[in-house]
Structure 1
């Protein structure tokens, strides 16, 4: 029991570290457009995002419950004969996800924290108990959300920008840009709030999994201290900022003007918050980048830097299988010691 408690405490610590890294890794996505158009200075944008992420994180728990029980059944991970398996699986998944997040942050690649965490949980669980351990109904539902949300965001960005073009076609360009630059302060805040409602939930879900696997909790309810701790970790991580990723998302996909930034923010925030309301985790990275591509396509298809977009999409594709493999290897190594 002492070993289970120690591993559970390690899981909690690494989950909060994952949330902290997620904060500075994915914050860039939420504020990239407002920083690149100079609607907000980077420091102000980051602090605002930190506050709004915190508010969003403590408001909802539906996505956390999906992470805790829809990928694998946490009650089935450990057995009386092997009580440590569940805790070690979750620890391996977190170590894998943190490693991938740090690697992609270092190279300035807007990778998905959602993909790496979900892939890592699946990979470590399969290494421990085979493919039958997966909750295929819930897992496929999550995969569908992850796969479809970028296409929905692309369409939403295209439609939002097309609508703006119709509404403001006879407006003075200077006045329009000035107005949208002000509007971006609010759209960036909304974007950061929705990021907190979805992304911070993932660490809450994995801590809840660990508490169940360790026999310290017998329902999938997210405890109050878990919500608060994850919200604080996400907020602190956000306050650090991720300027390398801001540069990629804010300028290397397309040249963003205030009207483009506002359209992309509104489109992606709508998609993310919609997913939160139906308790599905989505990648804020994928959604925001796709919304920017949709906005750029509505303005001028050739204006989108599709070479950069291809590199981002390639990273999206490889993240989940690489994370699953890494988690399986880490689990195998940890299993030698536990």
Structure 2
């Protein structure tokens, strides 16, 4: 039964990964579609390719999967069961599909984290009998803070990059400059897609890793039992049997991106503010830099929040009113509600598991 449940979790995690890809495709392609640099199909193909390339950068250049490790350890391992992980995944999938259907660019990252934590709390309560926190606050608090910090960093960086470019190019021929920035958008979009793949695929790795570790501990696997809890995720990543999980996580998110998410593309590409090729370069470069910084720190941030903040940043350089603040406030509400709604939904699903499983 446990092995069957583990396989179900892995399948659902990869389904979530796929949904994450088409839900968040807009993050890296919205501006190049809005500026007509690429057709929608060319754009998703471009982004998907770099989502997958991010695997090789994470594994062979960076040499570790810090974000996956953070997700796997967001809940104290004493309160992780396969049923907890399954409930969290189902809740995350439901919320992601609902927001995709409504065209709301919410965070897949926070959906997954909220579901995981909500199910764990339903399983054990806020504290165990020994007073141990169910939630690993050292891992989770930075993630909560970056709900606000990531878009703010993206916005500030995008603002200054745009101002810098405008000053450098103020005497350039507008037609020639526009052609150059359309070419540069291919580069900035690729950089952001690398960040998207590197950030979001690892979140699914983290959930699968948590499930495998839980399964191994239940089996009293001597290798995992002997290892310090801090190093069990590394054991999973380097296990000869599970080598394919990181590769599959990056591949599936790329396939999801290839499927696109056109309602969200429209929101990101035109409803927040009108974006030119120059501004697209600035927004994507700022967003990519923010994602690389947070990946280095091992903080799982929302690519959606990051690029939204960056698009707002370039809009502000024209005038404050260039940003459609009504749309932005609606997005902010979706961001704030994502974790608690996912957590409550996961808790309810876990309670149903208690009754029927």
Verify same fold: TM over 0.5: yes
Q: Residue in 2 aligned with 1:323? A: 342
Return the match for 1:77 from 76, 79, 87: 79
Q: Find the counterpart in structure 1 of residue 101 from structure 2.
A: 106
Is the CA contact 1:57–1:201 (under 8 Å) kept in the aligned structure 2? no
Q: Please say if residues 121 and 347 of structure 2, whose CA atoms lie closer than 8 Å, have aligned partners that are also in contact.
A: yes
RMSD over equivalenced CA pairs, Å: 1.3
| Structural mapping, 1:261-276, within 5 Å | 261-276=280-295
The residue aligned with 1:220 is: 233
CA distance in 1, matches of 2:307, 2:261: 15
In structure 2, the residue matched to 1:83 is none
C-alpha distance in 2 between matches for 1:16 and 1:95:
12
Aligned residue in 1 for 2:191: 190
Post-superposition offset of 1:122:
1.0
Q: Distance in 2 between matches of 1:308 and 1:109?
A: 10
- The alpha carbon displacement at 1:37 in A equals 0.1
Q: Is the 8 A contact 2:107 2:305 kept in 1?
A: yes
Q: Distance between the aligned counterparts of 2:354 and 2:207, measured in 1?
A: 19
Cα-to-partner distance string for 1:266-312 (whole Å, 9 max, x where unaligned): 00000011111111100000000110001100122111111111111
Moved more, 165-174 or 192-201: 165-174
Of the three residues 7, 21, 24, the one matched with 2:22 is 24
CA contact (8 A) 1:120 1:323 kept: yes
- Whether the 8 Å contact between 1:88 and 1:335 is mirrored in structure 2 is no
Alignment of 1:106-145 (within 5 A): 106-131=101-126, 132-145=133-146
Q: Could you tell me how far 1:146 is from its partner in structure 2?
A: 3.1
Q: Return the alpha-carbon distance in structure 1 between the equivalents of residues 326 and 135 of structure 2.
A: 36
Name the CA distance, whole Å, in 2 between partners of 1:147 and 1:326: 23
Alignment-derived partner of residue 71 in structure 2 = 67
Pairwise CA distance, 1:100: 0.6
TM-score under structure 2 normalisation? 0.89
Match of 1:38 in 2: 36
C-alpha displacement at 1:40, in angstroms?
Answer: 1.0
Matched, 1:280 2:299: yes
2:183 and 2:52 map into 1 onto residues whose CA distance is: 23
Distance 2:333 2:79 in 1: 32
For residues 10-21 of structure 1, what are the structure 2 equivalents within 5 Å?
Answer: 10-21=8-19
Contact 2:147 2:335 (8 Å CA) reproduced: no
CA contact (8 A) 1:27 1:241 kept: yes
Ranges in structure 1 where 5+ consecutive residues have no aligned partner: 79-85
CA distance in 2, matches of 1:157, 1:99: 33
Output one character per residue of 1:85-134: Cα deviation in whole Å (capped at 9) or x when no partner: x1000000000000011011111111110111111111111000111311
Distance 1:318 1:334 in 2: 24
- Aligned mates of 2:356, 2:6 — CA distance in 1: 15
CA distance in 2, matches of 1:4, 1:335: 16
User: Which residue, out of 253, 269, 278, partners 1:250?
Assistant: 269
Q: How does 1:146-225 map to 2 (within 5 A)?
A: 146-215=147-216, 218=224, 219-221=232-234, 222=237, 223-225=242-244
Tell me the residue number matched to 1:230: 249
Deviation at 1:241, TM superposition (A): 0.8
Structure 1 range deviating more: 49-58 or 180-189: 49-58
Post-superposition shift, 1:58?
A: 4.5
C-alpha displacement at 1:36, in angstroms? 0.5
Distance (whole Å) between structure 2 residues aligned to residue 296 and residue 233 of structure 1: 33
Q: Deviations over 1:166-186 (max 9, x none)?
A: 111122222211111111111
In 2, distance between residues paired with 1:202 and 1:304?
Answer: 31
Candidates 320, 325, 332, aligned match of 2:351? 332
- 1:91 aligned residue: 86
Distance 1:146 1:212 in 2: 28
Runs of 5+ consecutive residues of structure 2 not aligned to the other structure: 59-64, 127-132, 225-231
Secondary structure of the 1:65 match is helix
